[in-house]
Structure 1
């Protein structure tokens, strides 16, 4: 009578839980279950097969993958084969991961596979010449299926295999369970489709905006020299090609020196450098009337004249041209 009252209370609690109107299995769901399994023993000699009641709680990391903590009570009777008809009691705790297939919902089936580890303890074990508590670390694999009566109430049937790492033996069990889950997001009704917005009027195409294009020139010179070096011819040619593409453009080529030497000498040197670049531009096809060459001496440094590296940067001719491209 006590067992019937306990089962009635458990089933009543499970059914009441489904009246909460929450969602079925899915990411974030919590699952609780009571189960009963038949244990087929092989890892300890002279123990009859028995029935183990237990409970399990799980949490869904994704819609399909859950982590589960289980606990069941071992209740076996030793066979009367010369070792004594003793009652064997104990418990098993385990942590397993279950991967589910299919979708949760009313009248649906969800097969699953699982794997994990557990710890089993049995008391009053008399075998191989000793008595006392027998403890084993277990590797657990299993498979089964869940059937959903509602979005939240399900029954489970499955099989498990427990490998005792201590003695290399296997135990097997078949189980049935009844559980509920709540707090997940599977089985939720799909949101009503949002009506498509009315098409917006197509704006009139805008007139193309003129784009500014630009080319710059920076030619370096050796100390006290006004000769354009061959490695700068390509840069001067790029400027000439740009001006050929945009014939309305003009350019100023500006010559500069470092601070070594008298100001008057540097002024003339910078002019010779500017004129030298102008000559290369004319050779590349630019009309002389479109080119102005100006020498600025040492008045416009862009680097520190106190260092050799800075002075090398200051020995230069610069030019810049802009145009508007449609």
Structure 2
């Protein structure tokens, strides 16, 4: 592959990325870069130092770790004796770990991987093909969320010959296509229930609170006096009406407790209507099951308080 073709692919990626509607660093992001590096060859080679020009494409597996595929071609390398212009290329695959938080600013990195070098030989014809281990370090500076410049150094170990070479270079690139974790938003503070509006002084009220034994809907004898007081008040003020509300504790299923609360409410309604003469059309009943506790269901005392029937009646009196 010719260098101009390689650079064309990389530059095309850079330009294409600018048209994306959602650019972001983070997991799943892609980085495209063009670079220039100075090549410092091992002293056993019979040629001068040169340049490596090319590009890379990386993919972020996480916010910090990326896999980077690179390709570059060697230029300006000449043999010490023959003054021959030596050509070559290098293809590499690196894992790059970034430090710091994604976003504008400085992010140091460390890298490691392998490369395949194909380069001409100064003293004889043919090409030298070698496999190299690569360790690198450097700095990236993100001018914005998406555009960055890089400077770094790579150490190359030749597995075939056992010698070491170096690359030092710079690059510019673009980051696009990633996703960031959604920010953690604290749950809003609950809005307190408004305080009930106090009734005007001319309003009088009678309240009823009848307790029941566990799993029972029979009105206990000690509750009849309270029920009679409510009935007397309603008979004194015949324009009044009421809703008898039944409740349970939390023991049992929702469906069972709903039916039990309705039986309790109906039992108190029957005493008001059938024993104390309140008109049936003036008394409704409803069950709320275990949905409206007034005490802690985790204790036996609290559950006893929640096994109840409530009612209230209000009347306007002349001042």
TM range (shorter): 0.5 to 0.7
Tell whether 2:193 aligns with 1:196: no
Change (3 A) 1:145 1:49: same
What secondary structure sits across from 2:122 in the alignment?
strand
Change (3 A) 1:10 1:134: closer
8 A contact 1:98–1:113 mirrored in 2:
yes
CA shift for structure 1 position 72:
0.5
The root-mean-square deviation of aligned C-alpha atoms, in Å, is: 3.2
What secondary structure sits across from 2:188 in the alignment?
coil
CA shift for structure 1 position 12:
9.6
**Aligned partner (choices 76, 80, 83) of residue 85 of structure 1:** 83
Instruction: Look at both structures and tell me which one has the larger radius of gyration over its CA atoms.
Output: 1
Alignment of 1:203-214 (within 5 A): 203-206=294-297, 208=300
Tell whether 2:122 aligns with 1:126: yes
What secondary structure sits across from 2:126 in the alignment?
strand
- 1:136-166: CA deviation from partner (whole Å, max 9, x where unpaired): 1000000001111110111111111111111
CA shift for structure 1 position 14:
4.0
Unaligned runs of 5+ in 2: 194-291, 302-319
- 1:218-247: CA deviation from partner (whole Å, max 9, x where unpaired): xxxxxxxxxxxxxxxxxxxxxxxxxxxxxx
TM-score (norm 2): 0.55
CA shift for structure 1 position 179:
0.9
**Residue in structure 2 matched with residue 282 of structure 1 by the alignment:** none
Tell whether 2:134 aligns with 1:140: yes
Stretch moving more, 29-38 or 12-21: 12-21
**Residue in structure 2 matched with residue 178 of structure 1 by the alignment:** 172
8 A contact 1:110–1:147 mirrored in 2:
yes
Provide the C-alpha distance between the structure 2 equivalents of 1:175 and 1:67, rounded to a whole number of angstroms.
Answer: 19
Unaligned runs of 5+ in 1: 210-326
CA shift for structure 1 position 24:
3.1
Number of positions where the alignment pairs a residue of Structure 1 with one of Structure 2: 199
Provide the C-alpha distance between the structure 2 equivalents of 1:11 and 1:71, rounded to a whole number of angstroms.
Answer: 13
8 A contact 1:14–1:153 mirrored in 2:
no
